[in-house]
């Protein structure tokens, strides 16, 4: 029997074997098809029915026997042309679904100190762009010293400049003194009025990193809408901090 495989043309493995057997046999009975194709009798019946519906096989009755005959293989070309035509008619809808998927938010979760470091690493993927952040004392207390002072020079090398809002505290005062060195501008707000406890970084024009150092947990959300909203809130805080 031929080793040609027609599964690439819309037939399953059993249908392909039965159709090829028919081509070689000409008009044939079920028993002959079973023997030639090596497919079980019950499966041959189902395959012949499917081939008949696709116009690839016909049947006739002779002397009370049902015989089957393969149709012209060029019918496969017609089937493929018809499938291509149908695909073209639904392509606009498929593309619209793709566009919708591209704009759906995605969320990645990170656990533990190493997970939070992975979140920081993610912020380095967008060189020559601004990042804005709400920074807390907890970040400065919790981050591994070696990691922090390895991360900062790499951020500067990537020309990622940062604007930071932070609560007033002695630790933030020390942090702010190094702004120029680390390509950063920091403004502070009252810790009593605005006691935020997690760090939030906005970067890459659609990425939001949220890090809770006490809970040892971080996540990165990719969403243009959420980014845009939080960026507006940051800008309001930035203006407020400028006036105080």
Least reliable range by pLDDT among 39-43, 80-84, 158-162, 238-242: 80-84
Q: What CA–CA distance (Å, rounded) separates 140 from 112?
A: 16
Neighbours of 165 (CB within 10 A): 21
Q: Are 78 and 41 in contact (CB under 8 A)?
A: no
pLDDT tens, residue by residue, 210-232: 999 999 999 999 999 999 999 99
Q: How far apart are CA 38 and CA 31, in angstroms?
A: 11
CATH class of 106-243: alpha beta
Q: 7-73, which class in CATH?
A: mainly alpha
DSSP states along 5-44: --GGGT--HHHHHHHHHHHHHSSB-HHHHHHHH---HHHH
Q: Which contiguous run of DSSP H or E holds residue 156?
A: helix 145-157
* Parallel, antiparallel or unpaired: strands 207-212 and 217-222: antiparallel
Q: In the predicted model, is pLDDT for residue 244 greater than 60?
A: no
Q: How far apart are CA 213 and CA 118, in angstroms?
A: 13
Per-residue pLDDT, 242: 73
Provide the 3-class DSSP secondary structure of residue 214.
coil
Query: With 70 as the cut, is the pLDDT of residue 18 above it?
Result: yes
pLDDT of 161 higher than 60: yes
CB neighbours (10 Å) of residue 196? 16
pLDDT, mean of residues 230-242: 93
DSSP H or E segment with residue 217: strand 217-222
Residue 79: pLDDT band with limits 50, 70, 90 = confident
Q: pLDDT-based confidence at 98, cuts 50/70/90?
A: low
Burial (CB count within 10 angstroms: exposed 0-12, middle 13-18, buried 19+), residue 150? exposed
Q: Virtual CA dihedral for 108, 155, 224, 176, nearest 10 degrees? A: 100
Question: How confident is the model over 195-221, as a mean pLDDT?
Answer: 94
Q: Taking Cα atoms as reference points, which of 162, 187, 163, 160 lies closest to residue 173?
A: 187
β pairing state of 161-167 and 184-189: parallel
Give pLDDT, residue 88.
85
Please report which confidence band the pLDDT of residue 74 belongs to, taking 50, 70 and 90 as the band edges: confident
Q: What is the mean pLDDT of residues 91-114?
A: 79
Mean pLDDT is lowest, of 92-101, 192-201, 234-243, for 92-101
Token code pair at residue 168: 């007033």
Mean pLDDT of 65-74: 84
Q: Which residue has the higher pLDDT, 30 or 95?
A: 30
Q: What is the mean pLDDT of the chain?
A: 88
pTM, two decimals, is 0.60
Domain residue spans in the chain? 7-73, 106-243
């Amino acid at each position: 029997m031929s080793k040609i495989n027609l599964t690439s043309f819309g037939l399953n493995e059993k249908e392909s074997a039965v159709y090829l057997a028919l081509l070689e046999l000409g008009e044939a009975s079920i028993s002959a098809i079973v023997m030639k194709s090596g497919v079980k009798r019950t499966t041959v019946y189902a395959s012949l029915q499917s081939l008949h519906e696709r116009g690839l096989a016909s049947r006739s009755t002779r002397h009370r026997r049902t015989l089957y005959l393969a149709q012209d293989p060029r019918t496969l070309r017609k089937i493929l042309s018809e499938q291509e035509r149908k695909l073209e008619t639904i392509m606009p809808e498929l593309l619209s679904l793709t566009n919708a998927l591209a704009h759906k938010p995605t969320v990645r979760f990170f656990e533990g100190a190493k997970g939070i470091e992975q979140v920081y690493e993610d912020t380095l993927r967008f060189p020559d762009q601004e990042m804005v952040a709400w920074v807390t004392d907890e970040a400065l207390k919790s981050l591994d010293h070696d990691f922090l002072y390895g991360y900062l020079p790499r951020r500067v090398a990537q020309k990622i400049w940062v604007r930071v809002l932070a609560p007033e505290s002695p630790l933030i005062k020390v942090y702010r003194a190094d702004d120029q060195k680390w390509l950063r501008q920091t403004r502070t707000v009252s810790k009593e009025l605005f006691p935020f406890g997690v760090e939030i970084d906005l970067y890459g024009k659609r990425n939001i990193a949220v890090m809770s150092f006490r809970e040892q947990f971080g996540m990165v959300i990719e969403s243009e809408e959420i980014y845009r909203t939080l960026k507006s809130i940051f800008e309001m805080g930035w203006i407020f901090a400028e006036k105080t």
